[in-house]
Structure 1
Amino acid sequence: MAFEVLDEHEQGELVRKWVRDNWVSIAVGIAIGLSLIFGWQQWKLRQVRTQGEAAMQFRAFADAMEAGREDDATKIADALRSNHAGSPYVVFASLEQAEKAVAKGDLAAAQAALAVADANTKDSTLKALVALRMASVLLANGDASGALARIDGMSKTDFVALASELRGDALTRLGRSADARSAYEEALKALDPMSPGRDLIEMKLGDLPDAEKQNS
């Protein structure tokens, strides 16, 4: 007998029978659905709470750095890396540590901090920023080839002017003046006409050996 020709009583009986025969599956399905909803909500709350804790630790790190309490800052940064690996706050703290190390002339410590920053992010823009900083440190340490490799491994759309200028610096160190000239010209194209950075790049261009003299 087709279901649609049953009267209301018969339909009700069929529904009740189906529920009796399948109540376990129904209960399990409801329980799984509720647990998934609850689990998702808990995961979101945990993510928010974790990010909040990371932000507070970074604030404490920044305060310690500003106050010159470098030992405290180092301990906080270590805890931040341990408790919140992969957080952008780990990257920010490592970048600040690298900057401080460069100011002190400790290029090895700067490279170590930048390596930590790179390992803790998958964000392409942050990775490009870390690569630029690492290239700058490598260049300052006399490793022009290493610096060039870092820059060439970057996305061509991130920090174009900075990357091109730094590429020109590395190529100049390597004696590749023609390539350096092209890199500096690319940097100028990417810069706003009123940018104060243009003067320095134009000066670097002017300091390059004349192409005709090189070929003569």
Structure 2
Amino acid sequence: MTAMTDDEQKEKLSSFVKRYGSPIVTGVLLALCVFFGWQWWEKKQTVSSSNLTVQYQNVLNQSQLAAVDDASYQKLTADANKIVQESPNSAQAVQTQLLLAKLAFDKKDYATANKILTQAETSKVKDKGLKSIVKLHLAYTQVAQEQLDAALKTLDGINNEAFIPSVAEAKGDIYVAKNDPEAAKKAYQQAWDVLVEREQPRELLQIKLANLGVLVEDPKIESPVLTPSQASANIPSES
């Protein structure tokens, strides 16, 4: 194959640029736009999330006073609703709704707590744990309203493995309220067995079982604190 002269190479390059130059430049520009656009979006999301966290923290800081002062409660409610309205599918919005529901629950305003938690259930937040917490709180709110069957149905909607003991214990509480001790024992025992396996003792659950005539042994939990005999055993002897 004969090598092209400099003039031929220049002419071929010029022809190539004329024919394909515009699409190539356009593609490069689009790629750059996508890249920098994505960086801007990530930065915007980070800033937005940080702002929401600050807003939630401000609401949280107001909660103690809001629990005893009506004017503070009204202000907290307004600030909290703003977070929920602006970013309904954010983790901060759901956390805010949980806080609002707790304040309402503590005031024995169970209808309002139910309404807030039911709304939180519709959030598209991706945190499955947070969604499970919402359902768990909703179930106990329904229990407070004597909606026992509805509470059981709500608990059935929790499929997060980490919440198995909490769901089982909550069901046990409901069966106690329904005057069904056998079902309560079974639910409590399920919760206890999982907690023992995870080495996460829960004294209140042990008391609930005892109240139903079920005595369980304390789980063996390895303690980071050595007993005197263990400590002395680890002291090297003098040679």
Instruction: Place the TM-score, normalised by the shorter chain, in its bin.
Output: 0.7 to 0.9
Match of 1:87 in 2: 90
Residues of 1 paired with 2:208 and 2:11: CA distance?
86
1:64-143 aligned within 5 A: 64-68=62-66, 69-120=72-123, 121-143=125-147
1:166 corresponds in structure 2 to: 170
- Residue 156 (structure 1) shift: 5.2
1:198 corresponds to: 205
The residue type equivalent to 1:86 in the other structure is: N
Aligned to 2:186: 182
- Residue by residue over 1:44-64, the C-alpha shift from the partner in whole angstroms, topping out at 9 and shown as x without a partner, is 111011112111211221122
**One-letter amino acid matched to 2:59:** F
Corresponding residue for residue 144 of structure 1: 148
Moved more, 9-18 or 129-138: 9-18
Amino acid across the alignment from 1:144:
L
Q: Which has more helix, going by share of residues?
A: 1
Query: Is 1:18 matched up with 2:21?
Result: no
d(CA) in 2 for partners of 1:90, 1:8? 69
2:5 and 2:207 map into 1 onto residues whose CA distance is 88
- The AA in structure 2 aligned to 1:203 is A
Structure 2: how far apart are the matches of 1:129 and 1:14? 68
Report the AA paired with residue 137 of structure 2: R
Tell me how far apart the structure 2 counterparts of residues 99 and 165 of structure 1 sit (CA, whole Å): 20
Identity %: 25
Aligned-residue offset at 1:206: 2.4
**Partner residue in 1 for 2:161:** 157
Number of equivalences: 204
Q: How far apart, CA to CA, are the structure 1 residues paired with 2:138 and 2:27?
A: 53
Distance 2:3 2:180 in 1: 90
**Which structure 2 residue ranges, 5 or more long, are not aligned?**
67-71, 215-239
Partner AA of 1:112 in structure 2: K
1:12/1:111 Cα in 2 relative to 1: closer, same or farther (>3 Å)?
Answer: same
C-alpha distance in 2 between matches for 1:26 and 1:54 = 41
Q: What is the identity, as a one-letter code, of the residue corresponding to 1:39?
A: G
Distance 1:6 1:178, change over 3 A: farther
**1:148 and 1:171 in contact (8 A); partners too:** no
Match of 1:62 in 2: 60
Partner amino acid, structure 1, of 2:87: H
Post-superposition Cα deviations, 1:37-94, rounded to whole Å, max 9, x if no partner, equal 1211111111011112111211221122223211110010111012222111111111
**Alpha-carbon distance in structure 1 between the residues aligned to 2:104 and 2:12:** 77
* Cα drift, residue 150 of structure 1: 0.8
1:112 to partner: Cα distance: 1.4
Counterpart CA distance in 2 for 1:8 and 1:102 is 87
Structure 1 stretches of 4+ with a deviation exceeding 4 A read none
Name the structure, 1 or 2, with higher relative contact order (CA <8 Å, separation 6+): 1
- Residue pair 2:63, 2:76 contacting (<8 A) in 1 also: yes
Q: CA, structure 1 residues 50+91, in 2 after alignment: closer, same or farther (shift >3 Å)? A: same
Residue 145 of structure 2 aligns with an amino acid whose one-letter code is N
| Structure 1: gaps spanning 5 or more residues | 208-216
Structure 1 residues 8 and 81: CA distance shift in structure 2, 3 A: farther
